A and B are shown apart, each in its own frame.
Chain A
């Protein structure tokens, strides 16, 4: 469209004012077509630069300083913060807790989500009801989730210990032990996110051609075999996507341990469930911005590493159609 206009202009008889006006209109049109797309995408990139990219880069700069809000000047200390960090037991404790809670919450959650999506991916009555209830936990705020679950996981009067006592199991002090507290926190995360991920999987499953299942049914393949041999290979890109986003989410867990410990920023009296984010927050509230920034960047490195490893596993691990 744009290339045809000049030809027409050239064909116009040499009538100067008209040509002038047309040329101007042409230029305005060109500017509109060529320039306006940039203006339309600009708000996102401007905001991301100011409130996403700049902070990211600035964190790196701050991490190389002895930097607190208490003093006006900041001393450049190079990698000193990182050196201290690598020798800090609390840091490694937080790293272990983050990985432990991450694995405990993510692995069962994703398997469960795939299975639930598989169940929903059939003709069923009350489809909408099941889908809506599946997403209900995700609508509930994290504060509400933790307050509710802390009550459920209470040692003396909590419902979970009560149900367990019906089966003759002795009550557990959920927020005292390492494993028990990790299990409790993972339960909250699973409860909140399984349904959401199931819906994402379901969406991908519905794009799988029906004929594949029909052929497999004729061949006598069971539902589970079809899930393993058809569904999972066909939705692998979505699985990779969900695994990566879940990993990133799991590495950043903060609100659950913070609130589960009744707002204790150490994550339990003995730091049983202090995660990396919580450790950053602890140093942030101490106004030790340099150190907190250094932890942030270590966390970023971990995220990239863990996400990368997961990417390789999910891409290569499963043999299948493709």
Chain B
């Protein structure tokens, strides 16, 4: 994200203020930092707390006041997670599903986004409007017939049931349309045409390289949301062959009082994403904000 509408520099000469206004704005400044710091604190607190609990034993939970720093039992608890649910398999399944869906969404969304942003064809506006409108259809509404469809296809219990319906979505198409219509100069495509490129050639040689930054953000967002998807996998998969979220919900449901086990699993299933996010958070946020600004 290259600083859209550069923020006002505080060093820039301001309009003359009288004393009380200046003092008021100084106070507002401090309050702003205080509030934002508090929000940051509360955003991180639950994750921190889950690490604390996950690294202790169940007896420590009864302490008053509650434990505030991590203990030394994390790896022992993690080992218990692997004993209780097929967590390794769940990890492999989740990586497989999230990875293939992310790649497919990146590809198909860029393809459709290219058509909507840069190609002329009859009914383009109507189709684009239709695409956006489909975002408003609640997904859960179709779960029952979708499940029946999966039974017919014999995909229940299989990762196909998670991958195939998710290969492309309206958000991705809309996101790439927005990005390409802004970031890809039409002159570049015209130059390609003059050089004798077919439409597919243009897509392959001009559009794909230009789309890379936005597609990467879209891919990461997709990966995270598929990784965190809960209800549909729960409905269509079996506990013997789960994704991470389904395995975690088994932990959370079957061992109600074993909070340490539940939180150890939770920490394990969440940490990879949090690490990725900590490293790439800036780009991801830039992407969200870019996709959010309309026209």
Cβ of B235: which chain A residues have Cβ within 8 Å of it? Answer: 284
Cβ of A280: which chain B residues have Cβ within 8 Å of it?
A: 140, 143-144
Q: Per-position contact with A for B267-295: 1 when CB-CB < 8 Å, else 0?
A: 10110011001100110110011101110
Say yes or no: is B217 at the interface (Cβ < 8 Å to chain A): no
Query: If the complex has contacts A159-B49, A299-B138, A303-B138, are A44 and B263 also in contact, measured as CB distance less than 8 A?
Result: no
From B116, B266, B293, contact of A147 by CB (8 A): B266
Across the interface, A134 reaches (CB within 8 A) one of B4, B43, B112, namely: B43
Asked if B77 is an interface residue, CB under 8 A from chain A, the answer is: no
Binary interface encoding of chain A residues 169-196 relative to chain B, with 1 for a CB under 8 A from any of its CBs, else 0: 0000000000000000000000100011
Nearest CB of A to B122, in Å: 8
B contact residues around A144 at 8 Å (CB):
50, 248, 266-267, 269-270
Indicate whether A263 sits within 8 Å of B249 (C-beta atoms), given known contacts A133-B40, A218-B15, A284-B144: yes
| A11 CB-CB contact with B under 8 Å | no
With contact pairs A44-B112, A141-B270 given, residues A199 and B289 touching in the complex (Cβ less than 8 Å) = yes
List of B residues within 8 angstroms of A231 by Cβ: none
User: Is B183 an interface position by the 8 A CB rule?
Assistant: no
Complex-state Cα separation, A51 to B142, whole angstroms: 8
Considering only residues 18-70 of chain B, those with a C-beta below 8 Å from chain A are: 21, 24-25, 28, 32-33, 35-36, 39-40, 42-44, 46-47, 49-50, 53, 61-66
Q: A124: which B residues are within 8 A, CB to CB?
A: 7, 32-33, 36
B231 in contact (CB, < 8 A): yes
CA distance A128 to B278 in the complex (A): 11
In the assembly, what is the distance between CA of A207 and CA of B145, in Å?
A: 43
Chain B at the A interface: SS class: helix
Task: Known contacts A132-B278, A238-B294; decide if A32 and B144 are in contact (CB<8 Å).
Answer: no
Residues of chain A with a CB closer than 8 A to B4's CB:
206-207
The reply to whether B144 and A59 form a contact with Cβ atoms under 8 Å apart is yes
Chain A residue at minimal CB-CB distance from B248: A143
What's the least CB distance linking A46 to chain B, in Å? 9
A259 to B248, CA, bound (A): 11
For A55, the chain B residues whose CB sits under 8 A away are 141-146, 149
CB atoms of A147 and B262 under 8 A apart: yes
Whether A59 contacts B292 by the Cβ 8 Å rule is no
Residue of B nearest to A260 (CB): B252
Decide if A230 is an interface residue (CB 8 Å cutoff): no
Q: Which of A13-21, A89-97, A246-254 contacts B (4 or more CB under 8 A)?
A: A246-254
Binds B, one of A33-41, A78-86, A266-274: A33-41
Chain A: residues with CB nearer than 8 A to chain B? Answer: 1, 32-34, 36-38, 40-41, 43-45, 47-48, 50-52, 54-56, 58-59, 62, 116, 119-120, 122-124, 127-137, 139-149, 151-152, 154, 156-157, 159, 162, 191, 195-196, 199-200, 202-204, 206-207, 210, 214, 217-218, 220, 222-223, 237-238, 241, 244, 248, 251-252, 254-255, 259, 262-263, 277, 280, 284, 289, 292-293, 296-297, 299-300, 303, 307
Interface pairs (30), CB distance under 8 Å: A1-B193, A32-B198, A32-B199, A32-B200, A33-B199, A40-B119, A41-B111, A41-B173, A43-B108, A45-B127, A47-B165, A52-B142, A116-B39, A119-B32, A123-B9, A131-B282, A136-B47, A141-B230, A141-B273, A143-B230, A144-B266, A144-B267, A148-B50, A151-B49, A206-B293, A223-B25, A238-B292, A254-B231, A277-B140, A307-B136
B interface with A by C-beta (< 8 Å): 4-5, 7-10, 14-15, 21, 24-25, 28, 32-33, 35-36, 39-40, 42-44, 46-47, 49-50, 53, 61-66, 108-109, 111-112, 114-116, 119-121, 124, 127, 131, 134, 136-149, 164-165, 167-170, 173, 193, 198-200, 203, 224, 227-228, 230-231, 235, 244-245, 248-249, 252-253, 256, 259, 262-263, 266-267, 269-270, 273-274, 277-278, 281-282, 284-285, 288-290, 292-294
